[in-house]
Structure 1
Amino acid sequence: MHLPSNWFKPRQFALSWLLIILGLVGLFVYQANTKGVLPVETNILALLPDNQQDKVAQQAFDTIANTMSDKVVFVVSQKQNDNKKLINAVEQFSFGLKELPLFDSVTATVSKDQQQAWGQYYFPARAQLLTEKQQQQLTSAPEQQVQLVLQALYNPFSGVTGVELENDPFLLFRDYLSGLTKSSGNIKIENGYLTATVDDHKYIVITADLAGSSYQLSLQQQLPDLTALEQSIQKQFSIDVQHTGVIFYAAHGTESAKGEISTIGLGSLIGILVLVLVVYRSAMPLALALLSITTGLFCAYVLTIALFGSIHLFSLVFGASLIGVSIDYAFHFLTDRLNAGTKWNSVEGIKQLFPAITLGLITSLIGYLGMLIAPFPGLQQLSLFSAIGLTAAYFTVVCWYPLLARKPSNYHVIPAQRALSQWLLVWQQPLLRLVLPLSLLVAAVFGVTQAKYDDDIRQLQALPQALQQQEREIKSITGVGGSQQLLLVRDNSEEGLLQKLETISHELDQEQGFGGFQSISRYVPSQKTQQANYQLVNGLYQGQANTYQKVIQQKQALAKLQPYHALTIESFLASPISETVGFLWLGKIDNVFASVITFNQEVDSAALSEFAQNNGATYLNKAEEISTLFAQYRQRITELLLMAYLAIFLLLLPRYKVKQAFLIVLPPFIAGCAGLAVTILTGVPLNLFNLLALMLILGIGIDYTLFFAEQNKQGDHSHRESTLLAISLSALTTILSFGLLALSETQAIHSFGITVLTGIIVAWLLAPLSQLPQYHLHNRREK
């Protein structure tokens, strides 16, 4: 990196960088006025990529996710089975829920009007609505329907009235309506309440719709009020209240991330402050270190919001660890200042450091920006956040430090100089230079061969046991659970789609193990089915009229069959009864009509996928889809990582030649393998994030070897101890930053932290390997 002697102009550089920062301050003020000071995104789904190949599938997922995520389910029960006391508790609890601004609507009871809405909607079309069992019976043995009517009339609990018998002589309609409720699990309507009975124990279900998204911080902050209400009701009535909903998981994730940001950010900052004060013993280095950190994080924050519109909490967790990396260049500058003593010249100092820190920045950016290959918005945001922050810290050192640190340091002693010199002398031993790296490499490679991979996307989310237990219990009580598994069905016409849904629904009923499911065709049969049903009922009226009069002993002739009244999707969606299932119908997307079938419980993915293929449907499971993508990109990033090593090696080759370029790249490679091996030994399965950790180990670790190699290049050995000190300080802050990630409750972040922690330690340990031994340099000069 050959530059003219007068290339560096301190004042011009400082002014240019100041103008850029002032421009970003202006942008920040604009963002604060338009988006708020903290436009933080907490939705875990925002980290995931859209399905660009199948827009219908993506819309299906978005619709279901939005419908399910903004609901909360409460289950109230009492141990003594005191029905009156339980109802009083539910009434007061539901009143309290309605008073909370957290909810837009609360449903504790089903009014008579709501119950009658079903009958009112379907009654005019009762002659064309039959269950599958009724279809079979009217086809093969229509006379049996007369006997069923007779049994109902003589059954005192059947509740058959003269009005019903007049309007529906063969009692077909009541069976159809009761059939619609089968998919609602264990939930029944009793005295207007949604109840479920399990082992003679009664539960009352209350549902509520949030007044916004589950991921809104303003709503999550209201959850303590809900908790206080639940505890008050439980204490007053001696009842149990359980709840489930996405908002509880989202709030836990938000609080967990905030805690991790505080731990990582504050821990890193305190560690850096202590190190700076202990090593440099002056306020000036401390102020400069804080300037680098603040500028880097500020630029990363502002530009990330400018590019993405908001910043994800996940990026902030990782971004907090950037504190330990952004200080690296400052350490090298400040340590050289300390080592130079009264001979310090800030301009010459930055000129001497410039080749090494510039190559260090480039190689680090290769590591960070390598994450851009993954089509995950969260990873892309994290990548750019880190790259921008590191670049801003670099320019702060290059442009501002020479002016701000012109005066020599008052303290001119390198701490632990003797220990540093001894450590460097140890690395002059040929046996150590061969045995230690080779031993670590063999052990690490052996560990890597034992690797097991788990690409489950759910590793990105901390799932507390208490919430999971409540969710399982509510699913068991109600018989209904929010499965993420969907069947997407499409056709060129509404009628064709409804017929297809009917066929698939029939096949699902025949299969074992799929359990309950919801399909719009159960509520709106196709016109073909309605017409066929109408013909069957018409045949029943014509063929069994005489028998009916004799058996039922009815004097009046049967009333004529009512006219055909077609039910349509449009009329169903316009009716209030569609509120609970209308989301299943997606309508027209990309010139095709689409609908989804949902399942009440988790079913075998392989069996459902095979069923979908055999029946012309598309199996959708967002978690499995993303997990598959994780596996694919884990393989791609492995290839990219090897390409990055090769690219860096070729970049270094012209300046350092083959042997030293190899010795610069080797320590980060061994460090990466060691990081994976230790992660495997802790029993944590590997995933995409561990390979992203290797990118960072490469980008950060190669900085350490570059500074030693640059000293060999310049023939300057007076800075060897100060270089090792700066590298050690950098390693300590990076270990502190990324090592704290290992404390995360989220498994993906936890394993990422372990890998980086181990890798940076090994990268620091092996960094002197890139410095050629003195005897080798002496022989090379003689030649």
Structure 2
Amino acid sequence: MHRRLAWGWLAIVTLLVALLCTLLPKARLDSSVLSLLPASSLGKIPPQIENGFLQRLDRQMMWMVSPGNTADPAAAQWWQSQLQQQPFLQNVQGPMDAKGQQEWGKFYFEHRNGLVDNQTRSRLQNGGEAQAQWVLSQLYSAFSGVSGKELANDPLMLVRGSQLALQQTASQMRLQNGWLVARDKQGRYWYLLHGELKGSSFDMQQGRAAVEQLRVLHNNLKQHFPQAEVMSRGTLFYSDYASQQAKHDVSTLGLATVIGVLLLVLAVFRSVRPLLLCATSVAIGALAGTAITLLCFGELHLMTLVMSMSIVGVSADYTLYYLTERMVHGGENSPIESLRKVLPALLLALATTAIAYLIMILAPFPGIRQLAVFAASGLIASCLTVVCWYPFAVRGLPVRPVPCSRLLTAWLDAWQHKKAVRIGVPLALLVMSLVGIASLKINDDIASFQALPKDLVQEEQAITALTGQGMDQKWFVVYGDTAEQTLQRLEKLAPELDAAQKSKAIGSYRMIPLASLEQQQADLRLLSEAAPVLQKRLAESGITVSAPNLQQMAVTPDIWQKSVISSGWRLLWLSLPDGKSGALVPVSGVYNSAALGEIAAKIPGVSWVDRKVMFNELFSHFRSLLAGLLAAAVVVIALSYVLRLGVKRGLLNVVPSLLSLGGGLAALAFSGHALNLFSLLALVLVLGIGINYTLFFSNPRGTPMTSLLAISVALLTTLFTLGMLVFSQTQAIASFGIVLSCGIFCAFLTAPLALSTSGHGEGKREK
């Protein structure tokens, strides 16, 4: 019968290898920390609109080049020429050349009746008297420079009005020889360039190569222009930073983990075969985890790999428990008999740990769900490897005396006969837990989960100060079934935002300078009413002009996007193949995010997006939900103990689980970290993994000395793996590791509570 199980498991492992070989070439390794966030984060917005805008925003790149205190664009021109040669960039733009400026002016002139700005529109109200006064003021101004040709071709001066309105709504930058130029407080000139990545900013390999190449270009720029400086902005730089941190964790911490586990197994068993058996079960677990995760998700997150280091120690526990039983009792029992002794504890341990990981599927974060699937499938595969194969693989394994038997016996004796230990240790942990929990702070701020590099943050702040445009990801998303519907909804939103600006709810906003066809028709009627008034007022001033051209000059989003005047605005408009469209309205200086949410709720097809606030609220919600699930899990475990062992022993057996949770939280507080969703995810694993130690001790077929040796080795292997996470450069992973390692250590310390006071004799006989 057992041989059939072994051959059956071999067939399944072979299928997993084939599955992995099929999926791996098509798989994508994601390095974005944002992938740990909910897949849908922008509320009710159609997914196609949401994904389209997010992909565009992720690809955007911006550079500010300064030659120094002189207004010489040579350094910026050199930088632009180098960027245009890079294969990973597209649409790199700097200055607008003379031809572009001519096309700009030509388009505005040919479509002037369809590009009426808000200020001109307000002047055209009530018959156009205000517009006539404004035209006269421009004619008699010493600084306006109105030519006779301009007045003859555009008597209403619609082109001039549009240009002035754009200048007023533009950023702090000014046009100089075709370049957008800003000047900082030190008097340095900064020239603006922008472009797009050809691929995703979260492509780890392309991102690393792009960042390295840009660093090389920066060094070359310094050689040609020693006084020049470059500042960069883009999701690429943050994504590369995150991927390099995770890569460091996988390579450095993963190597330390493997070496530590190998040395420990060699030291305990003093044989290469147990080492190979541990490596085999861990490898098959990793194989199954990777294959099943790729089958379910089609990709693997780099942070999933980092956090999955936690299952290396856990999956080795099953092998170590069985090998320990064989090392101590191999002379008395056959391999199958040894398996029967440990099988109930193994299966219970597997079930509790797998359930603990699978609970994390409830979290709405793709990266965390990947971790749950990876870990649960990997642990099941590791345990099945032990159960199906190892009774055949351990034949002839040397039987050795229990290492450190005096120390282990003394520890068992202290727990069973010394109240100072049996009561004192749990009591000390309880006091420590209560003190730590009392000082624990809650922080759901997503910004605290990962420390950003100071140089990137400083450049970001400097670019924001120069351009007046930040990257705080606060905007309205307006969408509709047609472009016309989207534009009409934008027009309904605009007066609400003007009111919010006056009430200091926001500082400013940017909206594409494009009107709906309905509004363009209304503007044409206003122009028709204003034209006679203007001609009359000019005639009274001795100026004769011909009647303005009042033909319809319709501008649709398609025409607008293909024209030169949409340069710098195209990012804010999205057209889909099915005719649906969307528009972004970035908002800066937000003082009342809730009020903006109320504005969006009043207008169909408008959503307010404050991603930081949204994520913080989401993290808070699921933290509370997970805390409830954790409490429910403890109650279920307590009931199962009571039903299996009776009220007294059942409640006593749940004490290690409670103290492990309290110890993990106390360690979090004492280390200066705050409680967040990731901390509670770690507590779920503390509960699932720590309960294994109690189960090993409460196994009626096992012996205390064997159980203590097994969980001691298991603890050390787990600490080698989970403890390594403490040294991660990503704060969320570091706090995850602190809670896990300290919580599981507390579970180990108190696990002997599961021993009955009559079990000490067996421990002595083992000695």
Q: Which residues in structure 2 correspond to 1:190-201 (within 5 Å)?
A: 190-199=176-185, 200-201=187-188
Residue identity matched to 1:727: I
Equivalent residue number for residue 82 of structure 2: 96
d(CA) in 1 for partners of 2:760, 2:94 = 83
- CA distance 1:592–1:129, change in 2 (3 Å): closer
Equivalent residue number for residue 18 of structure 1: 10
Residue identity matched to 1:201: R
Equivalent residue number for residue 533 of structure 2: 543
1:41 deviation in Å?
1.4
Equivalent residue number for residue 274 of structure 1: 263
Task: Kindly indicate whether the alpha-carbon contact (under 8 Å) linking 2:704 and 2:759 is maintained by their aligned counterparts in 1.
Answer: no
* 1:768 alignment partner, one of 711, 731, 752: 752
1:78 deviation in Å?
2.7
- CA distance 1:145–1:325, change in 2 (3 Å): same
- CA distance 1:128–1:405, change in 2 (3 Å): closer
- CA distance 1:389–1:125, change in 2 (3 Å): same
Task: Kindly indicate whether the alpha-carbon contact (under 8 Å) linking 2:112 and 2:159 is maintained by their aligned counterparts in 1.
Answer: yes
- CA distance 1:707–1:557, change in 2 (3 Å): closer
Residue identity matched to 1:35: K
d(CA) in 2 for partners of 1:461, 1:447 = 23
d(CA) in 2 for partners of 1:281, 1:696 = 31
1:145 deviation in Å?
4.6
d(CA) in 2 for partners of 1:545, 1:128 = 21
Task: Kindly indicate whether the alpha-carbon contact (under 8 Å) linking 1:344 and 1:407 is maintained by their aligned counterparts in 2.
Answer: no
Equivalent residue number for residue 292 of structure 2: 303
- CA distance 1:94–1:504, change in 2 (3 Å): same
Task: Kindly indicate whether the alpha-carbon contact (under 8 Å) linking 2:474 and 2:588 is maintained by their aligned counterparts in 1.
Answer: no
Equivalent residue number for residue 5 of structure 1: none
1:235 deviation in Å?
3.1
Indicate whether 1:213 and 2:204 are aligned: no
Q: Which residues in structure 2 correspond to 1:361-760 (within 5 Å)?
A: 361-409=350-398, 412-428=400-416, 429-489=418-478, 495=484, 497-510=486-499, 511=501, 512=504, 514-520=506-512, 523-551=513-541, 553-554=542-543, 556-578=544-566, 580-586=568-574, 594-600=582-588, 604-613=592-601, 617-710=606-699, 713-714=700-701, 719-760=703-744
Which range moves more in the overlay, 51-60 or 250-259? 51-60
Task: Kindly indicate whether the alpha-carbon contact (under 8 Å) linking 1:541 and 1:561 is maintained by their aligned counterparts in 2.
Answer: no
Residue identity matched to 2:600: A
**Structure 1 runs not aligned, ≥5 long:** 1-8, 779-783
Give secondary structure in 2 for the equivalent of 1:598.
Answer: strand
1:166 deviation in Å?
1.0
- CA distance 1:559–1:93, change in 2 (3 Å): same
Residue identity matched to 2:747: A
Residue deviations 1:85-125 (CA, integer Å, cap 9, x gap): xx221222212112222212311222333334443333234
Residue deviations 1:241-289 (CA, integer Å, cap 9, x gap): 1111100111111110011112332121111111111111111111111
Task: Kindly indicate whether the alpha-carbon contact (under 8 Å) linking 1:584 and 1:595 is maintained by their aligned counterparts in 2.
Answer: yes
1:60 deviation in Å?
4.1
What root-mean-square deviation, in Å, do the aligned CA atoms of Structure 1 and Structure 2 show? 2.7
Which range moves more in the overlay, 384-393 or 571-580? 571-580
1:621 deviation in Å?
2.5
Residue deviations 1:466-515 (CA, integer Å, cap 9, x gap): 11111111111111123311223456775554344224223323423523
d(CA) in 2 for partners of 1:570, 1:769 = 74
Task: Kindly indicate whether the alpha-carbon contact (under 8 Å) linking 2:641 and 2:654 is maintained by their aligned counterparts in 1.
Answer: no
d(CA) in 2 for partners of 1:283, 1:493 = 69
Residue identity matched to 2:225: F
Residue deviations 1:746-777 (CA, integer Å, cap 9, x gap): 22212111111210111110010111112899
Q: Which residues in structure 2 correspond to 1:12-411 (within 5 Å)?
A: 12-32=4-24, 34-35=25-26, 39-51=28-40, 55-56=44-45, 58-79=47-68, 81-84=69-72, 87-127=73-113, 129-139=115-125, 142-143=128-129, 145-146=131-132, 148-155=134-141, 157-199=143-185, 200-222=187-209, 223-238=211-226, 239-340=228-329, 342-343=331-332, 345-409=334-398
Residue identity matched to 1:381: Q
Residue identity matched to 1:720: P
Residue deviations 1:562-593 (CA, integer Å, cap 9, x gap): 31323333432443543543453456899987
Give secondary structure in 1 for the equivalent of 2:721.
Answer: helix
Give secondary structure in 2 for the equivalent of 1:566.
Answer: coil
Task: Kindly indicate whether the alpha-carbon contact (under 8 Å) linking 1:184 and 1:480 is maintained by their aligned counterparts in 2.
Answer: no
Residue identity matched to 1:227: R
1:559 deviation in Å?
3.0
d(CA) in 2 for partners of 1:525, 1:16 = 68
Residue identity matched to 1:761: F
d(CA) in 1 for partners of 2:600, 2:307 = 39
Task: Kindly indicate whether the alpha-carbon contact (under 8 Å) linking 1:315 and 1:382 is maintained by their aligned counterparts in 2.
Answer: yes
Q: How many corresponding residue pairs?
A: 754
d(CA) in 2 for partners of 1:528, 1:294 = 66
1:430 deviation in Å?
3.7
Residue deviations 1:433-491 (CA, integer Å, cap 9, x gap): 23432342243134324432222334454421211111111111111123311223456
Residue identity matched to 1:564: Q
- CA distance 1:397–1:182, change in 2 (3 Å): farther
Which range moves more in the overlay, 118-127 or 270-279? 118-127
Equivalent residue number for residue 765 of structure 2: none
Percent identity, aligned pairs only?
Answer: 34
- CA distance 1:417–1:178, change in 2 (3 Å): same
1:560 deviation in Å?
4.0
1:347 deviation in Å?
1.7
d(CA) in 2 for partners of 1:175, 1:53 = 36
Residue identity matched to 1:540: A
Residue identity matched to 2:341: Q
Residue deviations 1:673-695 (CA, integer Å, cap 9, x gap): 11112212322111111111111
1:362 deviation in Å?
0.8
d(CA) in 2 for partners of 1:188, 1:558 = 34
Residue deviations 1:170-210 (CA, integer Å, cap 9, x gap): 42321212312444312333212222233443110111211
Give secondary structure in 1 for the equivalent of 2:423.
Answer: helix
Give secondary structure in 1 for the equivalent of 2:375.
Answer: helix
d(CA) in 1 for partners of 2:80, 2:302 = 33
* TM-score after normalising by structure 1: 0.90
**Structure 2 runs not aligned, ≥5 long:** 763-767
1:598 deviation in Å?
1.7
1:356 deviation in Å?
0.8
d(CA) in 2 for partners of 1:399, 1:328 = 16
